[in-house]
Every structure is written in C-alpha cells, then in structure tokens.
Chains A and B, each alone.
Chain A
Amino acid sequence: MTKEYKTIVEISGPLIFVEKTEPVGFNELVEIRTGDEIKRGQVLDTSDEIVVVQVFEGTGGLSKASAVKFTGDVIKMPLSPGIIGRVLSGSGRPRDGGPPIVPEVERDIIGAAINPASREKPRAFIQTGISTIDGTNTLVRGQKLPIFSGSGLPHNDVALQIARQAKTLEGAESFAVVFCAMGITNEEAQHFMADFERTGALERAVIFLNLADDPAVERILTPRLGLTTAEYLAFDLDMHVLIIYTDMTNYCESLRQMGAAREEVPGRRGYPGYMYTDLAIQYERAGIIRGKKGSITQFPILTMPGDDITHPIPDLSGYITEGQLIVSRELHRKGIYPPIDIRPSLSRLMNSGIGAGHTREDHRAVSDQLYAYYAEGCDLRGLAAIVGKEALSERDKLILEFADLFERRFVNQGRDEDRTIFETLQIGWDLLANLPEAMLTRVDDKYIQKYHPKHAGSAKKE
C-alpha cells in the first residue's frame, strides 16, 4: 500500500493524473514527494487506467519525476485538547512555530451527515448586544447565520463584535471560537488576531489561516478542517463553539477553478453544478445533537460579487443557511454602524428563540411591527423624492419619519455598545410610540397595554 509511483502523466492546474497504479480508493489521501517536500492531495476520480488527484498545496514545483504515494486512507484531522490556542495553516499544519498536534483522535474531515433524527431543535437565545440582530433577526445556539457583505464594508467588525459580545441569558458562558481564514489579506487576518488577543478569545480559539497568497486549492480543505475541529470541541469536549469563516466567496472561487480544471459541465455562471451540495456539506455541520452538551454556531462571511445577492454564491448560501444578515453599502455611506439592512436580512430560527420564556412575550409583535413600517418607510422615500414630502398623506409622513428614526436609533450603535435584549425592545417601543396606537395593527392589545410607553407606567403598578 505504501508503494510510490512515478507515473504522473499530466499536471494540469491543481490536478495531477497518475497511471498504472494498483486499485486506489475514491477520496483517498495522497502524498506527493518532490525531493524533501511533501504535498498532499485527494483522489477525485479513480479507475483501472488513470487516477485524478487534486493537490491542496498547489502543483507548483511538481514534475513527472515527483513520487506519488496513495495512503489507503481518507484525509484525517489530528485532534486533542491541546489544539485550543493554536494557529494552523489552511491545510492544518502549525503556523505558530509550535509543535505538530499530537493526536488523541483523528477524524475524517469529510464529515458524515448528522442524522436529522438525532438533532436537537436549536432554541437557546444568544444575545449579541446588537439590536438589528437580537431584536429583529435573533440568533440561537446551533444556528448558521452568514453575513452577506460587499468589499470595503465593515463585516469583519460586525463579526468580531458578535464574537466578543455573544452570550446566553443564563450567564456569560463563553464560546470557543474556531476561525477559518480563506484567501483574506494578511492585514485582515491581523485585524482578527489582534482583536482575539485583546479580548482573550485567543486562549479559547483555534485559528486556521489561508491567506491571499497561499494556494487557492488549499481553501477547499480549510473549512473542512475547521468544522472537523469544531465538531470535536462541541461533541467530544462539550464546548459551545462559534465558528467564523471568511471569505466563502474565495472558497467558491477555488471550487470553480477545480471544476474548470476537470473540464466539468459548469452550472450557473461557471460555478460547478454540485456547488449547492458542496456548500451544504459545510453549512450543515452546525447544530446541536440530542444528549450532547456542546453546540456549533456558524458565522460564515461572504462578499457578494458586485453587491449582487442573486449571484450564485450568496444565492446558494441563502438557500442553505438559516437566514442571512445583509451589510448594506447605503447604510454604511450614511455613517450608520452596524450597517445591517434588516429588510433582506432574516433569521429563520428566531421564532424558536424568542417570546415568553426566552426573551419576552411581545418580541415577535414588536419585531414584525418595526419591520412593516421600516420597509414601508423605505419605499416611501422613493415616492417622496418624486412628488415631494408635502404631497404625502399624514400617515405616510409619519412612516417616513419613523424609518429615519429607526436607522438612527435602533440600527445605529457603537462598536462596543452591548445592548441587552430589553434595551433593544425598549428602543423599539419608543420608536413605535411615535405612531398613533391605531397604527400598531401587528401588536396584540394586551402587549400595548403592558409595554407601550404610554401605558407601561400603569402596568408596572399592578
């Protein structure tokens, strides 16, 4: 099995083609040796005649004289508690000058699917301290909630603020962080690292770094290694894990390159037809398993090419993840931070994490009402620009004003401002109180009686 072959017949982009081998298994780990250097790859296609291998660390430096060894095993990630605090490369080798990970266990990085019947329904509210998340797009433990952004927008700051402030209401149990960088710049990576260091998060973090100048194919490996690590921390070591990976757009570009190298029939806009399934295999590795203490909550970050949400990368992601937070260029230009546009944003698991027993009974109603008038207000801006504010009806003027206030008071907050959910709901009520009560059609009267600033005083006396 450990025989070496020197029968490379073709090297093409990230692929090598090897012939005259003994039977080789699909997905097997491959080692390619050139002199002292060993690169790793994986079998993509295997037959009697030829074996196709994708090389993760790039094919630069390989030649027909390189020796190929098929290991007879799939790729595995070495894991032990000692991995916490380590900085690794995008292919899992130490990048912090430390020793290799001495494994207690080794896990197949392909990751079998969690049996849907073994999943626990996620419903523990996570307070991020950010109103546009907690109030209107609530995150729960075990959710996968990506940030869709554009280049030059402060998505990293938002992600970091979430990582810093996230806690459940029961207490400040802290998350372990797994951070996977895929093709981001050194400067961006430093920004993350400095923040982790400043807040002490680094001590309970595992970092995988594949930077812009590292091989692109390696990026196919990075999230798989990160997620395998996250599963170990969550389901072996009982930790609550927050995994941030950025930038999924770079990951998808690598997939596209691989597809092109294999001369596959491309799907939409040149991306492989299996990209949905491939992304799902990553994103679905979030959640909670019944009877286990830990959990995996995912924060993938992706930049939408040309700010286009219908581009296949955000589109397919949105079809898999449990919602999305949209960072808006328009709000950013207005100087609003975090520039999260709630209208196209969504948290699909919000409902199970809010309400009596989780946050507060009026949460859903407040959120729905805020949404309805903010969306209407945004539409009215277009109208006001054409016909002038004066031509609007009284009702419309109120809503227009509401939308402006909403952005300034509810959306806008400080980079270190950590609002409790009750503060967030209070801001919501204060804004709604500017509208006549009869306009609050989404809110049950009993909540108006109890929480509307005009009545709240009397309710408290009871």
Chain B
Amino acid sequence: MEVGKVKRVAGPVVQAVGLKASMYDLVLVGEEGLMSEVIGISGNKHVIQVYEDTSGVKPGEPVKETGAPLVAQLGPGILTSIYDGIQRPLTILAEKSGDFISRGLFVDGIDHKKKWEFKPIVKKGDVVKPGQAIGEVQEQLLIKHKIMVPPRMKGGAIKEIYSGNFNVDETVAVLEDGTKITMVQKWPVRQARPVTRKMPPTIPLRTGQRVIDGFFSLAKGGTAAIPGGFGTGKTVMQQTLSKWADVDAVIYVGCGERGNEMADLLHEFPELVDPRTNRPLMERSIVYANTSNMPVAAREASIYTGMTTAEYYRDMGYDCMMTADSTSRWAEAMRELASRLEEMPGEEGYPAYLGARLADFYERAGRAEVLNGGFGSVSVVGAVSPPGGDFTEPVTQNTLRMVKVFWALDSRLTQRRHFPSINWLDSYSLYDKDLEPWFTENVNADWNKNKKRAMAILQENAELEEIVMLVGSDALPEDQQMTLEVARMIINFWLAQSAFHPVDASCPYKKQFDLLQSILAYRDYSFEALKKGIPVDIIKNTPSKDALAKIRLVEDYEPDLKRVMAQMDSEFKAMK
C-alpha cells in the first residue's frame, strides 16, 4: 500500500501526491491518521475530504492508503446504537475521549468481542445463495437478526455450520469451496445493496398522524419530503414518525442539525414504549448524530451510512424507515466540499451533480423482494430546509422531482400554533390511488369517500376565504357560512394534532375515521337544517359541536363520541 504526502490543507479538504488510491477509497491523513476519503483525482494529485478537524495538519505529513472504500459494519449490535456520520459509536468515543469529540479515534461500528447466540437455520449440505439467511441471532428481545450470506459472495453448499455463542469475527459456517461466513458484513456505503426486484407500493405506512394517514399517506417503501422554513415542524414530525410509524426498524439520521435535539431523542426513546410491541422504542432504533458543528465530510457521509444500515435490515425482510434531518445540510456539505475543490458551481453554488446525488439516494428506497426471499422495505422521509422558506431553491426542487409525497410546511400555520403545519392545499401523495384499496379493505369502505369530501370542503373554504377577505363573512349566503364553519372544524378538530399530547400524539386508523365521520355527520345535519330554514347562527351554536372538539383528546373515546352524536341528533331534531 502506498504512502503519499500532504501537499496542501485548506479546511476539511487536503491535496496529496504519491498515492494510487481509487475514488472513494478511505485514506488516513497526517501523523494522527485522520479518517478521510478520496473525492477527486487529477494528474498526480489526490483530493481528499477529511472526516475530522484538520487543525495542525502540515504539508509533508504522510497519507496512508487502506485499499478499501468507506464501509459500514453490518451485524448484530447495530440496533440501539448511536453513531456519528461514519458509524463510530458516540458512547464509545465518549469513553475514549471524554465529553468533547477528539480526533484520530478508530472505533468499530459494532462490538467485535461480544458473543451472540447463533442458531443455524440451514444445515450441512444445503445450497445457499448470496443474500440468503443461514442463521439467526436474537438481537433484541423481539427482533431477530438474520445472518445472511453477503450479497457479493458466491454462495454454494454448506460444508460446516455451527451453533452456539460467537463473536462477529468468528466463523459460523464454511462453504464447500472453503469460504468462511461470519456474522459481520462490510458494505461500501455509497453502493446500494442488491435486491431481487422492487415491488409497487400498496401498503400504507401508518404514522398515527391524521393529516398524513388521512390525506397524504406514505406507502411502505415510499419516499416523502418535508420542506419548511425554520421552526415549522420538520424535526418534531420526523421524531413523531420515528415514534409511531408501524415499521420494524427506524434509522434516524441527524444530519447537520442540533445537539440538544439528539439529546432529547436519546433521552426519550429508551423511555417511550412502542405501542405495537410494548418494548422501548430504542430497541428498534438506530441513530446517526452528526450535528451541525461536527465535521462536514462526515455529515456528507452520514446519509449513505444510514441508508446502508436501513437496506441491511430490509434485506432480512423488515420494514424500515429512514428519516434524514436535514437533507439540505447534506447538500450544503456537498457544496462546501465542492467549493474547496474549486469545482465549477451550479445553481446557488451547489455542485452540478446535486440532482444526481439526490436521485441516487431516493432511488435506494423502496419495497422489494429481497435476496433471502420474502419482502422488506426502506421508506425514506427527508426534511428539507429551504433558505428563507422559499421552495423554489435547488434542493427543494431537485427533491420534489424524486419523491412521491410532499408535505409542505407552512409558516402561517406555525404562527397560529396549528400543528402539524402541513398545508392541506399544497401537499400531495402520489401513492393515493395505490393505497385506496387497502384502506377500503382494512379500515372502512367509506375511508376514501370521506377523505374526498373533507378535501373538497377545504378547497371550497379556501375560495370562500378570499371572498371573506373582501366583504366579511356575514355577507356570505348561509350555506357558505356553514361551509366555513365545517372547514374550521376539520382544521381544528381533525387536522390539528399535538405531538406532545399524551393521548392525541398518535391516532389509530379507526379513531381517525370516526372523528372525521362525525364532523361530516354534523355537516349533513346542518345543511339539512338550513334547508328547513333554521338560521345559521342557531346551527353553529349547537353544544354538541363544541363537544366534538375534544373527543380526540380522550383515549377511550368511543362512549363519549356515541353520547355526543346522540346529543347532536336530538339537538337537531329539536330545532324548529
């Protein structure tokens, strides 16, 4: 392996000579051996991005090759970990270097000493294919970790297979041709892991958020973007999804965002319980925390490291969700590094390949038939932080070309503390049609009909509001005044949902349906009453309407709802 020399250092970018390394190879820079990656080769010069602070690095210091690209270590023990952007466990970094992160530390992504109980699921003589599971480890109380033949291995007949306690480096099986299989795979993070075939999205990813599940639903294996200016609710939404989504594993990538937010998450997840399994949420979670003040090159890598771990659990047949907060900080890391390379900048200084990188990333999502047989999925939710909240900027635009679901956050809603501040007119889900049959079959035959009715009311509301701005609401005909009132109910009683309310933070499908159904029932009663000539002010003052407002805050809501609906019925019957 060659040893080159540093020629120039400017921030996180170093130029070196005397290397033979290929693009994206990992190299070690300087006396301290700082972890770095080759990101450009021109003439005899290698351009290198360094994952750590480069203070003190001098021209003339050595650059050592490793002969391999940046890989993720994949094996039991990933779940519950918190990593930096290059999969170094932060708790171990803290043990080694204290509360502040220092440099030049090498730490494995998973514990290589820990013994896991390996239970074979194939036997001697069986022929195994790449990607096929040969055994299992109980990684968490409820999560089995499949030990698979690495996708790039040839496979073949099993010559030996063991059972018992092993660390990840010990051989658990030997193939006929002598190939040894261990419980760790190393996979280059910038390459997608292979699947047999991608599947169409037909199953919704349940989030417990009415505006999402009810209006703009995400599919398992789908992609969604949440763009919004600062403070509009991107992070809270990603954390909320990570808590309540009905997936087997959550990969949360804090990419260039706040340290205290990560502290919050790391504080909450071990304590919160996954309602599906009654186990701490942390047991199904993997956290990458490369905060804004940590090195930008590692921030750039964090998205790929996160995606690679998500794909790995997908390959076991699990439904995984990766959230990235924020993909804009990732794009900015690319921009920062590109500008140090003195590359020709594209729009707003971003490198010309911005769109291609975003596309490659979102392409790695999907529901798939995996090599092991069976199905798994990686759903991706990316936060986008447009400068000045302006969605016409390049990161938002390039993202929208790729993703199928768009949750547009709206600062006007934030200012009223209407959360989630997802604008119901601008947002969309292109999975809508694909998911309709599922809702009809699994929740209620009227699910899709109610959704369309509610959306139509909100659409009409928006048009009426424009007129109101000119003439005031009292000047509107009575039926239109009623529509404004019903829209207000949909907005305040149904779309609004506090992530922090002990009960309402997550709402089951049935409750979502019942709540909307009751508002639509009120609408039908009131239009009926209007027809009978009852004045709109009397209709608006029905006490049962106000009672509807708080049903969502009640856990065991059905008796209450029944009572309120009965009351509504008698109130309207009594109207003359």
Contacts and interface: CB of A to CB of B under 8 A. Distances in A.
A119 B100 CA distance: 10
B500 to A, nearest CB: 6
A405 interface: no
Interface stretch (B7-15, B120-128, B305-313, B443-451): B7-15
Nearest to A72: B56
Interface residue range, chain A = 35 or more
A260 to B, nearest CB: 14
B88 to A, nearest CB: 10
Interface in A342-378: 343-344, 346, 348-349, 351-352, 364, 368, 371-372, 375-376
Interface stretch (B173-181, B374-382, B470-478, B517-525): B470-478
Interface stretch (B207-215, B262-270, B397-405, B563-571): B262-270
Interface in B71-127: 82, 90-91, 93-94, 97-102
Indicate the size class of the contact surface on chain B. 35 or more
B263 to A, nearest CB: 4
Contact of B263 (A116, A268, A382): A116
B260 A322 contact: yes
B101 A115 contact: yes
Contact of A267 (B60, B256, B266, B348): B348
A386 B254 CA distance: 46
A387 B546 CA distance: 28
B526 interface: no
A27 interface: yes
Contacts of A285: 293
A39 to B, nearest CB: 20
B54 interface: yes
B349 interface: yes
B385 A289 contact: no
Given A268-B348, A391-B472, A391-B474, A113 B100 contact: yes
A387 B472 contact: yes
Contacts of B101: 112-115
Which of B7, B90, B264, B390 counts the most A-chain CB atoms under 10 A from its CB? B264
B91 A117 contact: yes
A319 B93 contact: no
Interface string A283-306: 011110110100000000000000
Interface stretch (A165-173, A186-194, A438-446): A438-446
Interface in B38-58: 53-58
B550 interface: yes
A318 B9 contact: no
Given A27-B56, A115-B94, A115-B101, A47 B8 contact: yes
B132 interface: no
Contacts of B10: 26, 44-46
A121 interface: yes
Nearest to B385: A319
Given A273-B335, A391-B475, A284 B56 contact: no
Interface string B463-497: 00000111111110000000000000000110000
B388 interface: yes
A26 B55 contact: yes
B468 A121 contact: no
Interface in A325-349: 343-344, 346, 348-349
Given A23-B58, A371-B417, A113 B492 contact: no
A412 B349 CA distance: 44
B461 to A, nearest CB: 15
A441 B417 contact: no
Nearest to B97: A115
A159 interface: no
Contacts of B200: none
Contacts of A319: 230, 385
Contacts of A292: 99
B327 interface: no
Contacts of B8: 45-48
A447 B493 CA distance: 19
Given A113-B101, A117-B94, A364-B500, A267 B472 contact: no
Contacts of A422: none
Contacts, number: 230
Contacts of B54: 26-27
Given A47-B9, A287-B259, A344-B415, A112 B58 contact: no
A310 interface: yes
A320 interface: yes
B350 to A, nearest CB: 9
Contact of A114 (B229, B259, B385): B259
Contact of A25 (B56, B262, B546): B56
A118 interface: yes
Contacts of B194: none
Contact of B264 (A25, A112, A121, A316): A121
Given A23-B58, A310-B388, A318-B230, A117 B474 contact: no
Given A117-B90, A372-B417, A386-B469, A276 B332 contact: yes
B33 to A, nearest CB: 16
B260 A438 contact: no
A322 B258 contact: yes
B408 interface: no
4 closest Cβ pairs, A-B complex: A310-B388, A280-B292, A391-B472, A47-B8
Given A371-B415, A387-B472, A393-B472, 9 more contacts: A47-B59, A117-B91, A118-B94, A280-B291, A310-B389, A343-B416, A344-B411, A371-B416, A391-B471
25 contacts: A23-B58, A23-B60, A24-B58, A27-B55, A46-B58, A47-B7, A112-B53, A115-B90, A115-B98, A119-B259, A268-B349, A273-B349, A274-B11, A277-B292, A287-B260, A316-B387, A318-B230, A322-B258, A323-B231, A344-B415, A376-B416, A383-B472, A386-B470, A392-B472, A438-B543
Interface of B: 7-11, 15, 53-61, 82, 90-91, 93-94, 97-102, 229-231, 254, 256, 258-260, 262-264, 266-267, 289, 291-294, 296, 329, 332, 335-336, 339, 342, 345, 348-349, 385, 387-390, 411, 414-418, 468-475, 492-493, 498, 500, 543, 546, 549-550, 553
Interface of A: 23-28, 44-48, 74, 108, 110-122, 142-143, 235, 264-268, 273-274, 276-277, 280-281, 284-287, 289-290, 292, 310-312, 315-316, 318-320, 322-324, 343-344, 346, 348-349, 351-352, 364, 368, 371-372, 375-376, 382-383, 386-388, 391-393, 396, 438, 441, 444-445
